């Protein structure tokens, strides 16, 4: 397998890892006085001299550890405008930005109000989840060009819609939202160079409690089996529930992990974690020079064809903002080799559900001849209706396009069974984009419009839109409102999703050196093993048969 990893992307990974390490160094004493910020994603507000108020304990979480108070006086804040502020007023001191060296304005800043260490993890053996006790956190960002000349409340109301406008107004009046280290009102006009800060009570989503298992470790490199549903880097709603922070919690705060390859949050499997910049650069060069092969395993809809299946359809990113890709004739060259490992027919329960669904659609079509959906019940016109059961498929991406395996499987008519995007009929229609390279059934505009309605128009704190959109979709699908509010910030509380709802059935199974110097294989995930009462393979053969199925003699494949 030939994998490309541009130096720009790899360099960004190293810079991000270093920045995350710099901002998360523990400090069990009161924070030191303000000092110049040494790196991007260190925050001006990290100079706060006293920790935030601790979150109240709940039946699911242990009591918060005692906080160290600073002798420094707190600045005057308007507690009357926000009653909840009273309990924090004597504990929280606003950072002073005047005279502080600040990073490049193009770099988003994310930093805690005060050092949070050790990570406030909590485990429950009953649900198999890793949770984080809520904590206070400050987001910082410089004024964007489109914000200039606009009222502060207008910016938050139009671009950060995850909370109601009355929350933002109260936060501005109380000082939880401030500009250049000073409390300002909702009508403050934002100017070029302003540093906008927002301190909030942060609730991280739970992730699986599965450990970051070690497959191999030496003096320079750690090969891990990344759990599904856990992001690699702190981003979006995730900070401590990330691979980097989990490994630091296991090995000590001074441990500096450098991820060498990328995996989406929902994807599990092999990752290389270097112990130094030099080791990370060496592995990055190997990947860039196409001397490393990788193999994935996927669980897809229906009975996948026998033999080696080569999909060389080009892939186009139809929306950079959404990070959305699809097969299009004018896209970039891409090639993936697939081979079915096993097929498992449907259960009686699944057959009953399929029959009931087909009857409902047939009755709907019979009563509405003008309904364009009536043709969907015709198995001859819509062969995917007859797909039952699922297949376990080996996947070898010859090129390295974003979401390449997921997009090619969708195009072949066998999307990953639980893919929240590429197997979503709300986005792609009933045929899920099968063989639609010219966009006849679904125009790019239609797909983008449907997907946009699933998430925010603008993601706060410069987080990747696609991941946030998936987060929002999963929250509606997997989590349910409890009807309770957080006692500190009045945020609506959600019940924990099941651990089985935090994964994508796509697993990075194996990495190997093309010259045979080394090879690392992770265990098959549970969803790839034979179901109870059925026989099937529990191991996977060598990668040679997949490599031999396609000869990478096309120089365009390197582009």
Residue numbers annotated as active site: 264
CA dihedral over 300, 306, 308, 314, signed as positive or negative = negative
Q: In whole angstroms, what is the distance from residue 354 CA to residue 463 CA?
A: 39
- Please enumerate in sequence order all residues whose Cβ is within 8 A of that of 443, keeping only pairs 6 or more positions apart, or say none: none
Q: In whole angstroms, what is the distance from residue 163 CA to residue 186 CA?
A: 15
- The Cβ-side half-sphere exposure at 247, using a 13 Å CA radius, reads 30
What secondary structure letter does DSSP report for 374?
Answer: G
Query: Beta strand 506-513 with 519-521: parallel, antiparallel or unpaired?
Result: antiparallel
> Do you find a cis peptide bond into 55, omega within 30 degrees of 0?
no
Longest Cα separation, the chain: 77
Contact 138, 111 (CB under 8 A): yes
- Segments of 434-494 assigned E as strands: 481-485, 492-494
Q: In whole angstroms, what is the distance from residue 55 CA to residue 150 CA?
A: 34
- The gap from C-alpha 239 to its chain's centroid, in whole angstroms, comes to 11
CA dihedral over 180, 185, 191, 192, signed as positive or negative = positive
Q: In whole angstroms, what is the distance from residue 199 CA to residue 135 CA?
A: 10
Contact 369, 278 (CB under 8 A): no
User: What is the 3 state secondary structure string of 293-307?
Assistant: EEEEEEEEECCCCCC
Return the number of other C-beta atoms located less than 10 Å from residue 384's C-beta.
Answer: 16
Contact 414, 393 (CB under 8 A): yes
* Helix axis angle, 243-251 to 7-23, nearest 10°: 50
Element (H, E) at 210: none
What secondary structure letter does DSSP report for 121?
Answer: E
Element (H, E) at 87: helix 86-89
Contact 208, 229 (CB under 8 A): yes
Among residues 85, 207, 197, the alpha carbon closest in space to that of 139 is found at 197
- The Cβ-side half-sphere exposure at 56, using a 13 Å CA radius, reads 11
- The Cβ-side half-sphere exposure at 200, using a 13 Å CA radius, reads 22
Q: In whole angstroms, what is the distance from residue 69 CA to residue 195 CA?
A: 27
């Amino acid at each position: 397998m030939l994998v490309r990893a541009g130096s720009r992307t790899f360099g960004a990974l190293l810079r991000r890892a270093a920045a995350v390490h710099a901002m998360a160094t523990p400090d069990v004493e009161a924070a030191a006085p303000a000092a110049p910020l040494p790196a991007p994603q260190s925050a001006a507000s990290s100079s706060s001299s006293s920790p935030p108020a601790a979150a109240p304990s709940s039946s699911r979480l242990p009591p918060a550890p005692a906080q160290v108070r600073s002798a420094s006086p707190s600045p005057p804040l308007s507690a009357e405008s926000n009653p909840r502020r009273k309990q924090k007023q004597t504990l929280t001191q606003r950072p002073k930005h005047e005279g502080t060296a600040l990073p490049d304005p193009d770099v988003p800043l994310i930093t805690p109000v005060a050092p949070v260490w050790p990570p406030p993890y909590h485990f429950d053996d009953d649900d198999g989840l890793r949770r984080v006790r809520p904590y206070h956190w400050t987001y910082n960002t410089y004024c964007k060009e489109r914000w200039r000349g606009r009222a502060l409340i207008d910016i938050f109301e139009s671009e950060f819609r995850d909370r109601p406008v009355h929350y933002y107004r109260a936060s501005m009046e109380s000082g939880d939202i401030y500009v250049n280290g000073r409390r300002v009102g909702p009508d403050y006009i934002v100017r070029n160079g302003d540093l906008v800060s927002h301190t909030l009570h942060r609730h991280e989503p739970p992730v699986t409690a599965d450990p970051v298992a070690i497959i191999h470790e030496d003096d320079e490199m750690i090969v891990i089996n990344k759990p599904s549903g856990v992001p690699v880097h702190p981003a979006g709603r995730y900070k401590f529930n990330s691979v980097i922070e989990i490994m630091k919690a296991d090995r000590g705060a001074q441990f500096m992990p450098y991820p060498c390859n990328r995996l989406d949050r929902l994807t599990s499997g092999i990752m290389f974690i270097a112990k130094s910049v030099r080791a990370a650069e060496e592995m990055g060069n190997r990947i860039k020079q196409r001397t490393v092969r990788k193999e994935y395993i996927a669980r897809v809809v229906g009975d996948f064809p026998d033999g080696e299946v080569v999909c060389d359809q080009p892939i186009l990113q139809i929306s950079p903002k959404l990070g959305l890709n699809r097969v299009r004739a004018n896209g970039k060259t891409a090639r993936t080799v697939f081979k079915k490992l096993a097929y498992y027919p449907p259960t009686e329960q699944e057959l009953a559900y399929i029959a009931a669904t087909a009857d409902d659609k047939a009755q709907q079509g019979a009563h509405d001849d003008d309904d364009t959906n009536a043709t969907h019940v015709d198995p001859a016109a819509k062969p995917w209706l007859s797909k039952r059961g699922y297949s376990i498929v080996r996947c070898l991406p010859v090129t390295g396009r974003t979401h390449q395996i997921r997009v090619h499987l969708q195009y072949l008519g066998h999307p990953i069974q639980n893919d929240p995007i590429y197997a979503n009929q709300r986005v792609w229609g009933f045929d899920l984009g099968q063989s639609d390279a010219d966009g006849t059934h679904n125009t790019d505009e239609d797909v983008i419009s449907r997907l946009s309605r699933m998430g925010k128009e603008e993601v706060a704190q410069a987080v990747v839109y696609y991941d946030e959109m998936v987060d929002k979709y999963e929250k509606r699908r997997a989590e349910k409102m409890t009807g309770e509010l957080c006692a500190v910030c009045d945020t609506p509380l959600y019940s924990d999703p099941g651990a089985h709802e935090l994964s994508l059935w796509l697993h990075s199974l194996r990495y190997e050196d093309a010259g045979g110097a080394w090879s690392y294989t992770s265990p098959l995930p549970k969803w790839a093993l034979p179901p109870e009462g059925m026989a099937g393979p529990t191991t996977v053969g060598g990668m040679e048969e997949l490599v031999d199925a396609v000869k990478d003699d096309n120089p365009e494949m390197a582009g």
